[in-house]
Amino acid sequence: MRLKFLFPILVFAGLLAFFFIGLGHDPSLVPSPLIDRPAPEFDLPPLEAGAEGLKTADFMGRVTLVNFFASWCLPCKAEHPLLIQLQKEGRVRVVGINYKDKPEEARRWLAEEGNPYDRIGVDPSGRVAIDWGVYGLPESYLVDQKGRIRWKHVGVLMPDDWQEDFLPRIERLDP
């Protein structure tokens, strides 16, 4: 008899438990299924005429940071100084994939802001980005010497992210 009236509070207690545990989870963090798998095959044309494009084979031999960017992506501007700094430090090779952009705008943008990329591949249709599992810009991937994806960062790359997520992995890959 009394149980009937206790039912609502019991259900609520159960919900509370889930809410409380749920607070500790980040529902938006989803590990990429590509981690520790070889990077998808691709062969993209260059941004500047005469320069070299970007293809999967280019990853061999050096730890590479693959950065998806576009001139229309404001947040990309925010991580740009860090990319330039990384390029200068030379700890990893920085390459870019220009995602669904107008080439002339991308060229102007890089001329104004500086070009941190060793090589750039142009992906006007977004096909390659789909293979990589990119669903928004910017996104950055760490690829090892054997061309395997080791880490994926979604959103603006901040110095903290670099220190905490990228550097330790790079140390392990290339001591």
Please give the residue ranges that form the binding site for another protein (CB under 8 A): 1-2, 5-6, 8-9, 12-13, 15-16, 18-23, 25-30, 70, 72-78, 99-100, 126, 130, 133, 135-138, 154-156
In the complex, least distance from residue 19 CB atom to another protein, rounded to whole angstroms: 6
Q: Is 49 exposed, middle or buried (0-12, 13-18, 19+ CB in 10 A)?
A: exposed
Question: C-alpha angle with apex 50: 48 to 55, nearest 5 degrees?
Answer: 80
Between residues 5 and 50, which has the closer beta carbon with respect to another protein? 5
Between residues 142 and 156, which has the closer beta carbon with respect to another protein? 156
Between residues 8 and 90, which has the closer beta carbon with respect to another protein? 8
Write b or e for each residue in 78-116: b if 16 or more Cβ atoms lie within 10 A of its Cβ, otherwise e: ebbebbbebbeeebbbbbbbbbebebeebbebbeeeebb
In the complex, least distance from residue 40 CB atom to another protein, rounded to whole angstroms: 16
